[in-house]
C-alpha cells in the first residue's frame, strides 16, 4: 500500500455525521470515513444503497476474512470501498484493519477491534508522516493521565495495554512486505531516511517489550483494585497489604516497572481511588449534618484509613530487601528512595482537613455537655443560667455552620477554612467566659469535697486550654482547704493515740472505747481523702495540685 500509519482510536477526533443506524460499527466507520475524506453524508448514502459495496462492508464485519477494507473517492466523486488497496491512488484513502482474523459482533466496540488510518498516495510523504507519528508515540513515556490529579490506577493499566496494542500495530506495519521493499529501496539509494528508520525500528521493538512487560506486571493488580472499589469503606484497609505485596513483586521482577517515577505515578492514582472511597463514605455536603457522635466516628475511621495506607507503604518499603533475597538470582535491593510527599501529598492534605473537622466535632461534643451543667450554692442559679446562655449561643452558630452546602472535605475550600477559624474564635470566647464562671463557682465551694463535685459536673470541660488557665489559681484554695483538713485530722489522730495509751492501762474499758476510737479515726481520714482520691482518678487538676496532694498524703 502507498503509505499507512495506524493510530489509536482514543487519540483521534472526527466530525459526527448525520447518518443514523442501529449498528454502532457502521456509525463509527461512517463518521471516520466522511470526516477523513471530507465527504458529505450523501456520498455514504449512495454507497450504502449499492448492494455490492454494502456487502463488502458487511463481510468485513461479519466474517473472519477479509481482514482489511479501503475507502476512497473516485475521480467522479463517488465513495468506493474494496478489500484491497486502490491502484493508481490519486487521493487519500481510509484503511480499517482487524486486530485479529475473526468476526466483529454488533455489541462490540469497533475501536477495540480494528486499527484504522489514512493512506497517502505519496509513498515518501507517507513514510515521513509515519516516522513522525511513531516518534510521537515513543516520546509518550508516561500516560497523559499522569498529570491528571484525579486519575485512577486503572487508567495507568489501560494506558500500557493500549500502548502495547499501538506498538504492536506499528511492528505489524514495519514487518509488512511493502515496507520491507521500501527499506530495500532506501538502502539501494543510500537514502538519508534509512538511519532514522533503523533507529526508529529499534526504539519500537524496545518500547513494545516495555509496554508488554508493564502490561503483564500491572495486570495482577487490577483484581485487587476492583475489590478496593467494591469493598465497604470500613474493610478497605484489608486490601492495602495485598496491593503493596503485588507492587513489591512487580518492582522486584520488572526492570521497566522498577522506575521511581512510574511507581510514584501509580501510587498517587491509588491514593486518588482511596480518597474517592472516603468521599463516598462521608458525603462531603452532609457530613456535618448528622449526629455528632456518629459523624465523629466516621471522621475518625477516615483518618485511620488514610494513615493505614501510609503506614502500610512504610512497612513494605522496609520489607523490600526480603523480596529481592527471594529471587532465583538474588541481587542488590533497589529501595524506594523517593520522598513520601510525592506520593502522599494529596493524602496529607485530606488528613489535615479531617483532623480539623475532628477537632471541631470534639469541641462541639464538649460544648454539648454544658446542657447538663447545674451549679449549686447561693450563686448557683445565676451561674447556671450563664452557662446555659453559652450553650444556646454555641448551638445556634454550630447549626448554621453544619448546614453549609459546600464541600467541607475539599482541602482547597477557602469557605470552610473561613468558617472554621470563625467558629474556633467564638469557642475561644466561650471558653474565656466559662473559665470565669467556673472560677467563681469554685471560689464559693466551702470544702474540697464540694470542689470535687463541681469538677465532676464540669467534666472534661476543665481541660480546655482557656478554662484550665483560669482554674489554675483556684487549685491553690483547694490546697489550702486540704491543708487545714490535714491539720485537723492530724490533731484527731494525735488525740486518739494519747487516749489509746491511757486506755491501755485500763484493760476492761480498752476494747469498747478503742473500737469506737478506731471507727471515728477511719471515718475522719476517709472523709478527708475521699475528694483527694476522686480528684486523682478524674485527673483534671494540674500537675502542681497532684504533687501537693501526694505530699499531704505522706
| Cell numbers at 277, concatenated | 472511597
Set of cell numbers at residue 478? 483547694
**Count of beta carbons in the 10 Å neighbourhood of residue 484:** 12
The DSSP output letter for 73 is E
Burial classification of residue 466, based on how many CB atoms lie within 10 Å of its CB (0-12 exposed, 13-18 middle, 19 or more buried)? middle
Q: Is the pLDDT of residue 189 over 90?
A: no
Condensed to tens digits (0 to 9), the pLDDT of residues 385-412 reads: 999 999 999 999 998 888 888 889 999 8
Return the pLDDT at 302.
96
Given pLDDT bands bounded at 50, 70 and 90, which one contains residue 530? low
Tell me the mean pLDDT in the region 363-384.
86
* Ordered alpha helix ranges (H), 231-368: 237-253, 260-282, 292-325, 340-368
Q: Please say if the pLDDT value at position 551 is more than 70.
A: no
Q: What whole-number distance in Å separates Cα of residue 337 and Cα of residue 342?
A: 11
Cα gap 498→492, rounded to integer Å: 10
Average pLDDT estimate for 535-544: 45
pLDDT of residue 135: 59
pLDDT digits over 467-477, tens only? 888 888 887 77
Beta-bridged to residue 80, according to DSSP, are: 72
Radius of gyration of the chain from its Cα atoms, rounded to whole angstroms: 40
Distances in whole angstroms, Cα of residue 251 to Cα of each of 153, 258, 328 = 16, 5, 15
**Is the predicted pLDDT of residue 543 greater than 50, yes or no?**
no
Give tens-digit pLDDT for 325-360.
Answer: 998 888 899 999 999 999 999 999 999 999 999 999
Q: What percent of the chain has pLDDT over 90?
A: 39
Handedness of CA 7, 9, 11, 13 (dihedral sign): positive
Q: Given this model, what pLDDT does residue 547 score?
A: 45
Quick count: other Cβ atoms within 10 Å of Cβ 329?
4
Check residues 188 and 155 and name the one with the higher pLDDT.
Answer: 155
Cα separation of 247 and 225, whole Å?
A: 12
**Mean pLDDT rounded to a whole number for the chain:** 81
pTM over 0.75: no
pLDDT of residue 82: 93
Q: Which residue has the higher pLDDT, 376 or 367?
A: 367
- Distance between CA atoms of residues 62 and 133, nearest Å: 31
Q: What's the order of all strands across the beta sheet hosting 68-73?
A: 79-82, 68-73, 93-98, 114-119
232-237 average pLDDT score? 93
For residue 354, is the peptide bond before it cis, meaning its omega torsion is within 30 degrees of 0? no
Set of cell numbers at residue 32: 471516520
pLDDT in tens, 240-259: 999 999 999 999 999 999 99
pLDDT confidence of residue 160: 92
Of 85-89, 168-172, 248-252, 419-423, the range with the lowest mean pLDDT is 85-89
* pLDDT of the residue at 254: 95
Q: Quick: pLDDT tens for 17-73.
A: 566 778 889 988 999 999 889 888 899 999 999 999 999 999 999 999 998 899 999
What is the pLDDT at residue 429?
93
Mean pLDDT of 360-377: 87
What ranges make up the beta strands (E) of 400-510? Answer: none
Each domain of the chain, given as residue ranges in start order, spans 1-121, 467-554
Rounded to an integer, the average pLDDT of 498-522 is 55
**CA-to-CA distance for 102 and 108, rounded, in angstroms?**
12
Q: What is the pLDDT of residue 2?
A: 46
- Say if strands 79-82 and 114-119 run parallel, antiparallel, or are unpaired: unpaired
**Position with higher pLDDT, 180 vs 82:** 82
Amino acid at each position: 500500500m502507498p503509505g499507512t500509519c495506524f493510530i489509536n482510536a482514543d487519540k483521534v477526533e472526527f466530525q459526527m455525521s448525520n447518518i443514523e443506524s442501529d449498528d454502532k460499527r457502521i456509525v463509527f466507520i461512517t463518521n471516520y470515513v466522511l470526516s477523513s475524506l471530507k465527504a458529505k453524508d450523501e456520498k455514504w448514502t449512495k454507497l450504502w444503497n449499492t448492494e455490492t459495496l454494502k456487502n463488502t462492508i458487511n463481510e468485513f464485519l461479519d466474517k473472519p476474512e477479509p481482514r482489511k477494507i479501503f475507502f476512497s473517492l473516485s475521480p467522479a466523486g463517488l465513495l468506493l470501498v474494496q478489500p484491497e488497496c486502490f491502484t493508481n491512488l490519486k487521493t487519500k484513502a481510509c484503511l480499517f484493519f482487524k486486530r485479529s482474523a475473526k468476526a466483529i459482533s454488533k455489541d462490540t466496540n469497533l475501536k477495540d477491534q480494528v486499527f484504522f488510518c489514512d493512506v497517502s498516495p505519496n509513498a515518501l510523504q507517507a513514510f515521513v508522516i509515519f516516522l513522525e507519528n511513531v516518534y510521537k508515540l515513543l516520546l509518550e513515556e508516561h500516560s497523559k493521565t499522569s498529570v491528571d490529579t484525579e486519575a485512577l490506577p486503572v487508567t495507568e493499566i489501560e494506558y500500557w495495554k493500549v500502548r502495547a496494542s499501538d506498538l504492536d500495530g506499528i511492528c505489524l506495519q514495519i514487518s509488512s512486505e511493502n515496507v520491507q521493499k521500501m527499506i530495500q529501496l532506501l538502502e539501494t539509494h543510500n537514502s538519508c531516511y534509512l538511519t532514522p528508520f533503523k533507529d526508529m525500528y529499534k526504539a519500537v521493538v524496545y518500547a513494545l517489550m516495555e509496554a508488554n512487560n508493564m502490561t503483564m506486571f500491572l495486570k495482577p493488580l487490577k483484581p485487587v483494585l476492583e475489590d478496593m472499589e467494591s469493598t465497604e469503606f470500613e474493610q478497605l484497609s484489608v486490601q492495602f497489604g495485598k496491593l503493596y505485596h503485588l507492587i513489591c513483586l512487580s518492582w522486584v521482577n520488572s526492570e521497566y516497572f522498577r522506575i521511581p517515577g512510574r511507581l510514584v505515578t501509580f501510587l498517587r492514582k491509588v491514593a486518588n481511588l482511596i480518597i474517592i472511597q472516603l468521599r463516598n463514605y462521608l458525603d462531603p455536603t452532609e457530613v456535618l449534618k448528622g449526629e455528632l457522635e456518629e459523624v465523629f466516628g466516621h471522621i475518625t475511621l477516615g483518618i485511620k484509613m488514610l494513615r493505614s495506607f501510609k503506614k502500610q507503604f512504610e512497612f513494605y518499603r522496609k520489607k523490600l530487601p526480603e523480596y529481592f533475597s527471594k529471587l532465583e538470582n538474588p541481587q542488590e535491593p533497589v529501595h524506594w528512595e523517593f520522598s513520601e510527599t510525592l506520593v502522599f501529598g494529596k493524602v496529607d492534605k485530606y488528613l489535615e482537613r479531617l483532623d480539623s473537622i475532628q477537632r471541631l466535632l470534639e469541641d462541639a461534643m464538649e460544648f454539648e455537655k454544658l446542657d447538663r451543667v447545674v451549679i449549686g450554692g447561693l450563686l448557683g442559679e445565676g451561674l447556671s443560667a450563664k452557662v446555659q446562655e453559652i450553650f444556646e449561643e454555641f448551638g445556634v452558630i454550630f447549626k448554621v455552620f453544619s448546614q453549609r452546602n459546600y464541600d467541607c472535605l475539599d482541602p482547597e475550600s477557602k469557605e470552610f477554612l473561613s468558617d472554621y477559624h470563625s467558629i474556633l474564635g467564638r469557642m475561644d470566647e466561650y471558653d474565656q467566659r466559662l473559665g470565669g464562671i467556673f472560677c467563681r463557682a469554685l471560689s464559693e465551694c466551702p470544702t474540697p469535697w464540694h470542689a470535687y463535685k463541681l469538677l465532676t459536673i464540669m467534666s472534661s470541660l476543665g481541660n480546655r486550654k482557656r478554662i484550665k488557665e483560669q482554674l489554675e489559681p483556684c487549685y491553690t484554695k483547694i490546697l489550702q482547704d486540704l491543708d487545714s483538713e490535714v491539720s485537723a485530722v492530724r490533731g484527731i489522730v494525735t488525740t486518739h493515740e494519747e487516749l489509746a495509751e491511757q486506755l491501755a492501762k485500763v484493760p476492761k474499758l480498752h476494747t469498747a472505747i478503742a473500737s469506737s476510737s478506731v471507727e471515728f479515726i477511719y471515718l475522719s481520714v476517709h472523709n478527708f481523702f475521699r475528694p483527694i482520691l476522686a480528684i486523682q482518678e478524674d485527673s483534671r487538676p494540674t500537675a502542681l495540685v497532684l504533687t501537693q496532694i501526694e505530699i499531704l498524703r505522706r
